[in-house]
Amino acid sequence: MKYTDYKYKATKVPIKNITNYFKDLNLNTNNFITADIGAFGGYTSYQMLEEITPKMHYIVDSYEFYDKWTHLKNFGEWKNVGGKLTNNDFNNVYLYTKSIFNKYNNVTIVKSYAEDFLKKFDDESFDFIFSGINVEPKLLCDIMRIVYKKIKRNGYISGYPYKSSSTYHESIKDLLGFKDVKKVSKVKGNIFLLKKEDIDDSY
């Protein structure tokens, strides 16, 4: 399916920059447990699953109006639903997303806020989490700290967009305050990639 054919699309995220990096490292992504949080119509997941085949992939979105979004005025960027989305619109997005991913045996679509979804899992459960969440900076920092806890050692956190004007800028600075988190600088295209490294705490 081409980007132009995908019904509920927003900005085309360069997720292939991430999957190519995983391939360059010869990572066994077939054993990965992955998630796309704040996924909306799931187009980033669709792109990712054309490149890698994780053991299990979760597509997570509340699929309802949320008053803590930071760019409500621009929410008409999904022009095919237009203007300010209603909960009925979101339900249509949810049903469409389910129809797209029905063919995947390794995909589960979850109607939930990201923080509620993540809290159901033990710490260090995921190998890779991509975030498309766009909420106010403090809340995003809180959510990304939960993401950090749920990522395995030597696992990866990613999101889009990463630029000085985005809400992710502060949350990434916050995560880099943890001594086991390192920014992967080889990935380009306003998409960030952080690695939670396995470090020796014995010294």
Q: What is the mean pLDDT of the chain?
A: 84
pLDDT at 86: 74
The neighbour count for residue 67, using CB atoms within 10 Å, is 7
Amino acid letter for position 157: I
- Mind listing the pLDDT tens digit for each residue in 178-203? 999 999 988 887 888 999 998 755 33
Q: Is the pLDDT of residue 10 over 80?
A: no
pLDDT score recorded for residue 190: 80
Whether the per-residue pLDDT at 151 is higher than 90: the answer is: yes
Residues 68/164/58/55 CA torsion (nearest 10 deg): -170
> CA dihedral in degrees (74, 79, 82, 83; nearest 10)?
20
Is the pLDDT reported for residue 12 higher than 90? no
More confident residue, 164 or 93: 93
Judge whether residue 71 has pLDDT over 50.
no
**Domains of the chain: which residue ranges?**
3-196
Rg for the chain (alpha carbons), in Å? 16
3-196 is classed in which CATH architecture?
3-Layer(aba) Sandwich (3.40)
Is the Cβ–Cβ distance between 38 and 61 less than 8 Å? yes
Point out which residues pair with 151 in neighbouring strands.
Answer: 126
The pLDDT tens digits of the residues spanning 77-109 come to 443 333 466 778 888 889 999 999 999 999 999
| Tokens matching residue 56 | 């299990």
Is the confidence at residue 128, as pLDDT, over 50? yes
The distance from CA 63 to its chain's CA centroid, rounded to whole angstroms, is 15
